[in-house]
């Protein structure tokens, strides 16, 4: 295809090619690096930059593309999915073993590496975006233990050739960063989209491992992806393992609770527990076959529970509008202590979060929130940028049988309890509110713990800072233990008068 199809000018394209070739040439001229390129799905888009730059004989021991599935299985073993993390890992492991066994003499003076990718670019007449897995397993020094970087990317260009070009550039950036910036992972991360914009490529998962990255906290790397704008969302498990959203969310019912979780309180967990029960019943009812003679369907999978923190919630004035890593990791550790999967997102609006989840699953999505948040949801000032206003936002929010579960809110100033039933809604929006409630899109949570209602995170946090031991009974026991053991959130031991 013609390069002028890009939105970039010819001078920008020339600079882009020059910078990418410069990086490839610099690697080629570094005789300490020698290894294998294994690429499946989009062509040899990364290694071609090294051949084009010149001097590739000093870098490339082998280049392989196993496109046929039978050939790929014969080399790397059978797999259920070819564009997957498992396939990428088997490629990296297999080719590095071959390097170590075949390149004995060279291994004395060269640090061996494997670059691999397995990719599905946009096919002809296919509207689906391109996506793929990419990684490098490398020695930082000759005969060193391996280090590894694995990432997942979405390629957003309209044409396959454009996606292939973007893939090649990210691959060169990854190798250059691994070889020359491995000792500063955050600088490496920032360099991955050099020469590209987030309109063309999104990186929604990255994981560092191995000897050179033994001190890297991949939860921070997930946060940085969102903070840098490389992705609008990132996810990690209670263990701290980074998760790839499309794999985790694929055809899965999802229950989301949004909050600051500073700290996690009994209210947060009560909301989640009540919503979990109600959502499970909704899924069971929804999945029952209607005809009595119909064969019994397989039981539905358990909903995936996500505790979501928005970037807006993480930015603090104390750090000049940036994220405080210590504060972020404290929240992540508290949620991990409760066994919760964490989603970091740039989606301040609930309808945008709903749209993100709908991208990956057709199963029901439910969000649990307090009545105060529901009240804000019916404030039309938040939808002035939408052409369809509040109606458009709700149309997006309640797509695919989505639900809101509402927990009561106790006003600390007046002591008034706001519930779904007595929520104050503008007169012009009452018919809309009544419709959504009547259709079951918005449902109340019953049997809540009334003694939990006064437990606001901000008030609990103040008690933690002041050494008032009353906070201990306001948070789940694992959270209380963690805060005290590791002195999280400016914890002070109880004072004599508490």
- pLDDT (tens digit per residue) in 439-492: 999 999 999 999 999 999 999 999 999 999 999 999 999 999 999 999 999 999
pLDDT (tens digit per residue) in 139-158 = 999 999 999 999 999 999 98
Answer for the pair 381, 346: CB distance below 8 angstroms, yes or no: no
C-beta separation of 149 from 92 below 8 A: no
- As a whole number of angstroms, the distance between CA 349 and CA 489 comes to 27
Q: Which residues contact 162 (CB under 8 A, 6 or more apart)?
A: 1, 5, 6, 200
Q: Per-residue pLDDT for 6 more than 50?
A: no
Q: Give, to the nearest 10 degrees, the angle between helix 477-486 and helix 325-337.
A: 140
Domain tally, the chain: 2
Do residues 281 and 406 share a domain?
yes
Which position has the token pair 């998962």? 205
Single out the residue in 198, 216, 234 at which a domain terminates: 216
Are 82 and 210 found together in one domain?
A: yes
Distance in angstroms (rounded) separating the CA atoms of residues 340 and 351: 23
CATH number at residue 269: 3.40.50.620
My answer on whether 253 and 204 are in the same domain is no
Decide if 192 is inside a domain: yes
Whether residues 72 and 32 fall in one domain:
yes
* Whether 151 and 273 share a structural domain: no
User: pLDDT at position 428, please?
Assistant: 95
SS3 66: coil
Q: How many CB atoms lie within 10 A of CB 407?
A: 26
Q: Which of 113-122, 266-275, 377-386 has the highest mean pLDDT?
A: 266-275
Average pLDDT, integer, range 381-399: 92
pLDDT band at residue 346, thresholds of 50, 70 and 90?
very high
d(CA 252, CA 259): 22
Helices H / strands E in the chain, number of each: 17, 18
Question: Does residue 422 lie within any of the structural domains?
Answer: yes
Computed on alpha carbons and rounded to an integer, the radius of gyration of the chain in Å comes to 26
Contact assessment for residue 116 and residue 63, using Cβ atoms and an 8 Å cutoff: no
- Are 425 and 356 part of one and the same domain? yes
Rounded CA separation 34/27 (Å):
9
Band of the pLDDT at 311, cuts 50, 70, 90? very high
* Residue 387, domain member (yes or no): yes
Judge if 54 and 158 occupy the same domain. yes
Alpha carbon distance 227, 212 (integer Å): 24
Provide the pLDDT confidence category of residue 99 given band limits of 50, 70 and 90. very high
**Per-residue confidence (pLDDT) for residue 440, from 0 to 100:** 94
Using DSSP, state whether 451 is helix, strand or coil.
helix
First CA to last CA distance, the chain: 73
Verify that 162 and 17 share a domain, yes or no: yes
How far is 51 from 58, CA to CA, in rounded Å? 11
Same domain flag for 312 and 357: yes
- 287: CB partners within 8 A, 6+ apart: 297, 300
In this structure, is residue 222 part of a structural domain? Answer: no
pLDDT (tens digit per residue) in 326-345? 999 999 999 999 999 999 99
Domain assignment present for residue 77? The answer is yes
Q: What pLDDT does 7 receive?
A: 46
Based on the fold, state whether residues 254 and 212 are members of the same structural domain.
Answer: no
User: Tell me: the pLDDT tens digits for 412-425?
Assistant: 889 999 999 999 99
Looking at the structure, tell me whether residues 257 and 196 fall in a common domain.
no
**pLDDT (tens digit per residue) in 10-24:** 555 456 577 999 999
Q: Is residue 281 one of the residues assigned to a domain?
A: yes
Return the CATH number at 95. 3.90.950.20
Please check the confidence at residue 396 and state whether its pLDDT lies above 80: yes
Identify whether residues 267 and 154 lie together within a single domain.
no
Q: Examine the pLDDT at 275 and tell me if it is beyond 70.
A: yes
Q: Is residue 119 part of a domain?
A: yes
Rounded Cα distance, 240 and 242, in Å? 6
Enter the pTM of the model: 0.90
Is the peptide bond preceding residue 339 cis, with omega within 30 degrees of 0?
Answer: no
Domain extent, residue 177, equals 3-216
Residue 475 in any domain: the answer is yes
Say if CB 266 and CB 460 are below 8 A apart. no
Give the SS3 label for residue 239: coil
**Looking at the DSSP assignment, which residues form a beta bridge with residue 75?**
none
Residue 253 structure tokens? 């019912």
What integer is the mean pLDDT of 269-275? 97
Per-residue pLDDT averaged across 269-276, rounded? 97
């Amino acid at each position: 295809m013609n390069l002028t199809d890009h939105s970039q000018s010819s001078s920008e394209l020339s600079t882009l090619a020059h910078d990418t070739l410069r990086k490839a040439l610099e690697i080629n001229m570094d005789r300490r690096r020698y290894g294998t390129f294994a690429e499946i799905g989009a062509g040899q888009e990364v290694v071609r930059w090294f051949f084009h730059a010149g001097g590739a004989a000093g870098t490339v021991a082998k280049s392989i593309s196993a496109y046929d599935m039978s050939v790929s299985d014969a080399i790397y073993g059978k797999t259920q999915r070819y564009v997957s993390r498992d396939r990428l890992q088997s490629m990296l492991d297999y080719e590095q073993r071959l390097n170590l066994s075949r390149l004995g003499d060279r291994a004395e003076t060269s640090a061996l590496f494997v670059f691999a990718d397995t990719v599905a670019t946009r096919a002809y007449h296919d509207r689906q975006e391109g996506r793929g897995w990419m990684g490098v397993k490398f020695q930082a020094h000759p005969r060193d233990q391996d280090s590894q970087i694995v990432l997942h990317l979405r390629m957003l260009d309209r044409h396959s050739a454009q996606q292939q070009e973007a893939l090649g550039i990210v691959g060169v950036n990854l190798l250059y960063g691994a070889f020359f910036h491995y000792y500063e992972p955050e600088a490496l991360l920032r360099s991955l989209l050099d020469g590209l914009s987030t309109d063309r490529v999104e990186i929604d998962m990255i994981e560092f491992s191995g000897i050179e990255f033994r001190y890297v906290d991949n939860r921070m790397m997930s946060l940085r992806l969102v903070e840098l704008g490389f992705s609008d969302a990132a996810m990690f498990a209670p263990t701290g393992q980074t998760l790839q959203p499309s794999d985790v969310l694929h055809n899965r019912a999802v229950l989301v609770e949004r909050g600051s979780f500073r700290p996690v309180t009994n209210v947060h967990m009560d909301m989640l527990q009540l919503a979990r029960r109600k959502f499970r019943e909704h899924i069971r009812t929804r999945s029952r076959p209607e005809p009595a003679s119909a064969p019994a369907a397989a039981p539905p999978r358990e909903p995936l529970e996500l505790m979501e923190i928005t970037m807006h919630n993480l930015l603090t004035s104390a750090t000049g509008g940036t994220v405080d890593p210590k504060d972020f990791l404290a929240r992540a550790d508290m949620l991990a202590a409760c066994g919760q999967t964490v989603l970091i997102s740039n989606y301040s609006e609930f309808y945008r979060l709903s749209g993100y989840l709908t991208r990956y699953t057709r199963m029901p999505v439910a969000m649990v929130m307090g009545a105060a948040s529901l009240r804000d949801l019916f404030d039309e000032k938040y939808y002035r940028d939408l052409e369809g206003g509040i109606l458009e936002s709700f149309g997006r929010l309640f797509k695919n049988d989505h639900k809101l579960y509402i927990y009561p809110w106790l006003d600390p100033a007046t002591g008034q309890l706001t519930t779904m039933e007595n929520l104050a809604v503008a007169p012009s929006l009452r018919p809309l509110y009544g419709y959504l409630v009547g259709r079951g899109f918005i449902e109340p949570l019953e049997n809540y713990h009334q003694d939990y209602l006064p437990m606001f995170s901000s008030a609990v946090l103040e008690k933690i800072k002041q050494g008032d031991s009353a906070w201990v009974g306001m948070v789940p026991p694992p959270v209380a233990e963690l805060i005290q053991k590791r002195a999280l959130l400016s914890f002070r031991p109880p004072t004599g008068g508490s």
